[in-house]
Amino acid sequence: MTISRSEDVLVGIIAAVIVVPWTTWTLARGLRDGRLPIGRGYVRRDERAAPYYVLLAFYAAAALMAVFISLDLLFGPTFRKFL
């Protein structure tokens, strides 16, 4: 099964337009409000600081990976050339 270049671009656009802003919005809201969502609950900074910062790091890593994946899918070999 092969994947065409247009499918890569479509998935890259979806990642860049939906996934990256949603993750960064969650990060910004979590920093502002002092709570981050996990499942159906929340981890609050004032109640459990260590799990909050671990979850914050996971959200930041997820945002960076989504940016990297969307750039890789959009620009393909030209993006890999700079790595």
What is the pLDDT averaged over residues 33-60?
93
Percent of the chain with pLDDT over 70: 88
Q: Nearest Cα to 9, choosing from 69, 65, 66?
A: 69
Residues in Cβ contact with 74 at an 8 Å cutoff, skipping those fewer than 6 apart:
8, 9, 12, 13, 16
Q: pLDDT tens digit string along 19-35?
A: 999 999 999 999 999 99
Instruction: Look up the pTM and report it.
Output: 0.80
What is the pLDDT averaged over residues 42-66?
94
